[in-house]
A and B are shown apart, each in its own frame.
Chain A
Amino acid sequence: MANEGLDKAVSGEYALGFEIDIETETVPPGLDENTIRFISKKKNEPEWMLELRLKALKKWESMTEPHWAKLEYDSIDYQSISYFAAPKEGIDSLDEVDPKILEAYEKLGISLEEQKQLAGVKVAVDAVVDSVSVKTTYAEELAEHGIIFCSISEAIENHPELVKKYMFSVVPMADNYFAALNSAVFTDGTFVYIPKGVRCPMELSTYFRINAINTGQFERTLIVADEGSYVSYNEGCSAPTRDDNQLHAAVVELVILKDAEIKYSTIQNWYPGDETGKGGIYNFVTKRAVCEGENAKVSWTQVETGSAITWKYPSCILKGDNSVGEFYSVAVTTLAQQADTGTKMIHLGKNTSSTIISKGISAMKGQNTYRGLVKIGSNATGSRNYSECDSLLIGSQCGAHTFPYLESKDTKGQVEHEATTSKISDEQLFYLRQRGINEEDAVSMIVHGFCKQVFSQLPMEYAVEAKALLELTLEGSVG
């Protein structure tokens, strides 16, 4: 009984698939040196940046697309993608954003007008549409604390010393195929610098929107937390419903110095495609944090509900002694979605510790893979890792797979791994229904219970959003 109705209950509708009706300037499809020069020129970049991009392009051209992940998709034609698209209005003056874009962001639940925000909770937003940042809020207020919060293009122009020092320091330009591609063609993204001893007074966030047809989005985010500082940063994203696949290849680098902490949360809701596997975003993302100093702490929390294909392993390099890395993940694959996601915890400093909590939910024909590496280096004495990977299957056509890798050079290191796979059992559903709770609410209750450990890591307002999103993804089709 339980499987009837269940499929219907988990084929949630994608609510953010609308298109923003704006004129877009797009570079013709194709990727070569000229494309790079065009992008660099469009962004008025200094020569050194162009040089770095060209170097990355050369490296990328010598590399091949990796296929070790448990993902099945048609090979990507990189020459058929357009590498730059920007809304025509509002580029020159950041104060004048096309009202249609403002309206679209309102529709997404994000206010780009500071005075319109609810009292009490201030969230600074960098809004990125296709290849450009269209608006960054609260930048001035943050500057009073010495905090730099701007688009990466502005950072290249105004803070070259910081960009030169830290960009590519965590994810080298030829780290992997998709990182190399990003290094060559990245268009916008967010730059954050929190000075020594400063606790960022508000949540920072970036909202990425793919809008143009046939373009890829290649953003690059760099966050530097100087000694003793703290910041909580959140990113969200969405894209219109389209029959063609679109490529998203991002790079995020986090640098955490002594006694500093970064909390990085993601709610990923790119268009997932339909139940036959048509359309949807190909999401190939490299995210890495390095805890450079002692007692540095980084925490990745991700709620992945969108994209046709997800290839993503937010990682922590725990260099500083006593540094801490955390990874909390909920990945949902329904329809025909595939996700291969997890983390790498590289313990290099002494007494470093890491925690991995991964929750995979598969429904309909969704395929969900956890892939994680815990590596304890020879100097990392006294290091500890705790991993917990749980999978929840809804229905019988979906799949869950777990690939935990462990390399330990320290025999005294403490590594614990627990993995479970459970089905939403008919008995659980029946129990709730016998108490008068309808099937849809029962499924959602069980799923929320399953995700609780991860949602509790999100800042409050995002936890609410994540719950709502999960509900929509898994049970939007009725009502």
Chain B
Amino acid sequence: MSSVMKIENLQAKIGDKQILKGLNLELEAGKVHAIMGPNGAGKSTLSKALVGHYDIEVLDGDITYKGKSIVEMEAEERALEGIFLSFQHPVEIPGVNNAYFLRTALNAKRKHEGKEELNAAEFLRLMKSHLEMLGMKSDMISRSLNEGFSGGEKKRNEILQMLILEPEVIILDEIDSGLDIDALRAVSEGINKMKDGKRTFLVITHYSRILDYIEPDYIHVLKDGKVIKTAGPELVPYLEEHGYDGIEEE
């Protein structure tokens, strides 16, 4: 298999508490990987470690992306290289225009890739085309970033950013939490649109609900800071019935 990201013996702590305890995981390029596991297993910590969040201190092990170690890489550098995190709780930034923010982010990426920056008109056309697909109102262009957004609006806005930035590795941290059925459909549609056999997805979730919409290729069970089992999508109904307790480390 051709792997885009490889996590080897990753040990990481938040504050004084070690959360990841020798985690191994290989992400196959172009595939959808789902990470499932009980509360406190280290799912969010893993997503934070991959994007270089300041809470995380890596104690040992390595994360390689396209063959290069990224453990020492700044967060913005990883983003520019194509790693995207859809946040579980997107933060509100008052007074910062949503379109302005997104255009700045896109142009930072384009510049990094040696492409021409988009002007305001070009960008607006691009943004509008995605808004409609996600069922978002056009006032999303002028509203402040996530400010006063409902839970569903925030998640749709994360997906909007993903569509515009076109990342290569997409980490979706509890993307379905707090979504009603319409929002879930819209969000899934956005995600499925990005599935082109080249982009890689890491879907972090408690519940199997989202997996009805985004079909995973692999299920990884995370428990006590380690991946204890990797299987195909047939594992999902088993987990639903038996929970995580019956899964033994392989």
Contacts and interface: CB of A to CB of B under 8 A. Distances in A.
Q: Do A and B assemble together?
A: yes
A165 interface: no
A433 B76 contact: yes
A437 interface: yes
Interface in A428-468: 428, 430-439, 441, 445-446, 448-453
B214 to A, nearest CB: 21
Interface residues of A, number: 25
A433 B75 contact: yes
B105 A449 contact: no
Interface in A412-442: 425-428, 430-439, 441
B112 A436 contact: yes
Contacts of B192: none
Nearest to A449: B95
B242 to A, nearest CB: 36
Interface string B92-105: 01111100010011
Interface centre among B80, B105, B165 (most CB of A within 10 A): B105
Interface string B190-207: 000000000000000000
A425 B94 CA distance: 12
B54 to A, nearest CB: 4
A450 B165 contact: no
A426 B84 CA distance: 18
Interface string B216-231: 0000000000000000
A431 B104 contact: no
Contact of A432 (B80, B94, B101, B112): B101
Given A1-B54, A445-B104, A435 B165 contact: yes
Contacts of B108: 435-438, 441
Contacts of B76: 433-434, 436-439
Nearest to A442: B76
A478 interface: no
A452 B95 contact: yes
Interface in B60-84: 74-76, 79-80, 84
A431 B90 contact: yes
Given A434-B51, A436-B165, A449 B109 contact: no
B53 interface: yes
A63 interface: no
Contacts of A445: 93, 96, 101, 104
Interface of A: 1-2, 425-428, 430-439, 441, 445-446, 448-453
Contacts of B93: 428, 431-432, 445-446, 449
A441 B104 CA distance: 9
Contacts of A453: 95
B188 interface: no
Contact of B105 (A2, A428, A437): A437
Contacts of A450: 94-95
A436 B109 contact: yes
B140 to A, nearest CB: 16
B161 interface: yes
A451 B95 CA distance: 8
B1 interface: no
B94 A430 contact: no
A394 B53 CA distance: 19
A432 B90 CA distance: 11
Interface in B86-130: 87, 90-91, 93-97, 101, 104-105, 108-109, 112
Given A431-B90, A434-B76, A436-B108, 9 more contacts: A425-B91, A431-B91, A431-B93, A435-B105, A435-B165, A436-B80, A437-B104, A445-B101, A453-B95
A452 B96 CA distance: 8
23 contacts: A427-B91, A431-B90, A431-B91, A433-B75, A433-B76, A433-B79, A434-B79, A434-B87, A435-B101, A435-B108, A436-B105, A437-B104, A438-B108, A439-B76, A441-B108, A445-B96, A446-B96, A449-B93, A449-B97, A449-B145, A450-B94, A450-B95, A452-B95
A333 to B, nearest CB: 20
A23 to B, nearest CB: 47
Contacts of A449: 93-97, 144-145
A450 B75 CA distance: 24
Contacts of B87: 431, 434
B4 interface: no
B109 A448 contact: no
Contacts of A439: 76
B12 interface: no
B85 interface: yes
Contacts of B165: 435-436
B53 to A, nearest CB: 6
B112 A435 contact: no
A434 B78 CA distance: 8
A451 B112 CA distance: 29
Nearest to A424: B93
Contacts of A425: 91
A437 B161 CA distance: 13
A427 to B, nearest CB: 5
A431 B101 CA distance: 11
A246 to B, nearest CB: 35
A435 B79 contact: yes
Nearest to B97: A449
A355 to B, nearest CB: 17
Nearest to B93: A428
A134 B53 CA distance: 56
Contacts of B112: 436
